A and B are shown apart, each in its own frame.
Chain A
């Protein structure tokens, strides 16, 4: 790859980031010359100076009318289409320039009108230059960009256009949740059929048996001004979209707002000097410092918010700890968790049926948010949190990983041409992305006694254990290969059936561990509800075969190949003793 590089670009409404593949083949977010990886999506003009990214943020205090931000989501939109909340900003107002959302700013003493496109081109060009500087001369052969799932065809096309004009060779635009899971390579087998790497590294607790290649994922992306929850079926590295919910006006900014009003009250309490939103300069200072303090509280449990001459020349300095932040931000956290519930309901999944929650977006780094989020899932249940890659970096890194996948495809290959020709449209509107999928899990029915002793994994139902081999929501064609131990020498029974996923609800007495002093004596322990995901096997078996095992514990191989039309060939065993079952197409 030395002769040229590919990059991933997360051009966001609030912040942007770029990732490139390093010499170890790993995707890394690029730091700019100030060492920053999260680059504010903001441009400011001051006389002959142009400030781009985080350097533009201080300009909000005295030069707000010449600062342009929150322009990314305006690309490809008509002015009349914008909501009030999208228009609301403390920076340069959005104006209607013959239907095109634009900004009027003073550049080098002259008033100019820039459309969202013009601003985006300037901004994306600066991202491109940052990448070129970082890659010190290695030509950038192509870029993959991420877009929110909520983007329309017009918005995606407008983004591609602005990026091309900024000098990028746009290989493909991919949905942000897909980029997040691609960064981890969740359920994706490695080259030569190795099992997927665990996102938390080799020492991490392994995935439950049978979920290495197949898991239900909830991707929770909390940015600055929006939250998107996407529920995906991850099937051996192929991801299908089960549901998605996007809520604008729900993100880090709402946490900042809560902090700003808290600090304003603290300032007045301490100094008797009033400070309100009408004092635009003071409020801008406080907003910038509040965001900074919020970030600090993600790293340590207490921080200091300090603003020089906040109002009437009086300085402000106020301590805050994470507990206070979480109290102030609780309504925002709860609203975000509400969106997760909505998305799961749309996907017809109970929280206990979610195998993995993947965090994306800068605000997902708020510890208080992740704690609140985890309460939605059964304690000690199978649901695992995946955030070993910083959530603000994961989307850009996933774009870089996908870019390297495209670059790895031969130049003139059909698959590369196909990827590059994918239409600029939301995935649900792209015909070639609609795939036939299984609707019910196909698996083995084993006697409950055959249940693995002590292994986590499926729970038995009515004395039967259903071991899923090809889960529902698997895009076809699909192949899976497993081994299972024979309980004794002689003919081992393979009894295949489809099943129905359900949730077992038990009332469980919460065992009080001794050091629970804080529990008042009189509070009788009301039983807690325990929810476990189960699959109940159909009575009717779909196929059965016996295979001669030579010894107890012999690992018998079973391969399942499902064709596009739903015909399935099951091969049990290997070599000449193998048995084949042909299930006709439905």
Chain B
């Protein structure tokens, strides 16, 4: 189950003429060293090794 963070920042109203463009991709990824400790790291490793996505891992 994902942890849900309630943010206090208000969403503006969409203008009536609103027409969304096609989604673009995020910037090129980097690569960093993970420090192998803690429960979330073990869960990260479990999902990776068992090819579970987050939803499947929740089950």
Contact = CB atoms under 8 A, between A and B. Distances in A.
B59 interface: no
A303 B46 CA distance: 52
A583 B26 CA distance: 7
A493 B42 CA distance: 37
A409 B30 contact: no
A438 B30 contact: yes
A199 to B, nearest CB: 14
Contacts of B27: 438-440, 498, 586
Nearest to B4: A481
B37 A178 contact: yes
Contact of A174 (B21, B36, B39, B40): B36
Contact of B12 (A188, A409, A493): A493
Contacts, number: 267
A493 B25 contact: no
A418 B20 contact: no
Given A493-B18, A561-B54, A185 B5 contact: no
B1 A192 contact: yes
B25 A434 contact: no
B34 A405 contact: no
A488 interface: yes
B37 to A, nearest CB: 4
A479 interface: yes
Contact of A178 (B4, B11, B36, B45): B36
Contact of B33 (A418, A428, A487): A428
A241 B35 contact: yes
A210 B25 CA distance: 23
Given A193-B3, A402-B37, A485 B50 contact: no
A406 B23 CA distance: 40
Given A491-B18, A566-B26, A437 B31 contact: yes
Contact of B13 (A439, A455, A490): A490
Interface string A7-51: 000000000000000000000000000000000000000000000
A451 B9 contact: yes
Contact of A438 (B12, B26, B40, B43): B26
Contacts of B31: 434-437
Given A457-B9, A483-B4, A584 B25 contact: yes
A479 B2 CA distance: 8
A181 B38 CA distance: 8
Contact of A475 (B21, B32, B43): B32
B41 to A, nearest CB: 6
B40 A188 contact: yes
Contact of A236 (B3, B26, B42): B3
Interface residues of B, number: 48
A519 to B, nearest CB: 38
A461 interface: no
A450 B12 contact: yes
B40 A238 contact: yes
Interface in A398-430: 398, 401-402, 405-406, 408-409, 413-415, 418-419, 422, 427-428, 430
A467 B12 CA distance: 13
Of B28, B44, B53, most A-chain CB atoms within 10 Å: B44
B9 A450 contact: yes
A419 B36 contact: yes
B32 A241 contact: yes
A210 B5 CA distance: 7
B9 A240 contact: no
Nearest to A414: B49
B23 A419 contact: no
A240 B49 contact: no
A85 interface: no
Contacts of B39: 185, 188, 237, 401, 405, 408
A473 B23 CA distance: 22
Contacts of B41: 237-239
B28 to A, nearest CB: 5
B6 to A, nearest CB: 5
Interface of B: 1-15, 18, 20-21, 23-47, 49-50, 53-54, 58
7 contacts: A174-B36, A182-B38, A209-B8, A452-B9, A477-B53, A487-B10, A583-B23
Given A239-B34, A239-B38, 17 more contacts: A181-B38, A193-B1, A193-B2, A212-B3, A398-B37, A402-B37, A405-B42, A409-B46, A415-B49, A440-B26, A482-B4, A483-B4, A483-B6, A485-B9, A542-B25, A549-B11, A566-B25
Interface of A: 172, 174-175, 177-179, 181-182, 185, 187-190, 192-196, 209-210, 212-213, 232-233, 236-242, 398, 401-402, 405-406, 408-409, 413-415, 418-419, 422, 427-428, 430, 433-440, 442, 444, 446-447, 450-452, 455, 457, 465, 467, 473, 475-477, 479-488, 490-494, 498, 540-546, 549, 555-557, 559, 561-562, 566-568, 570, 581-586
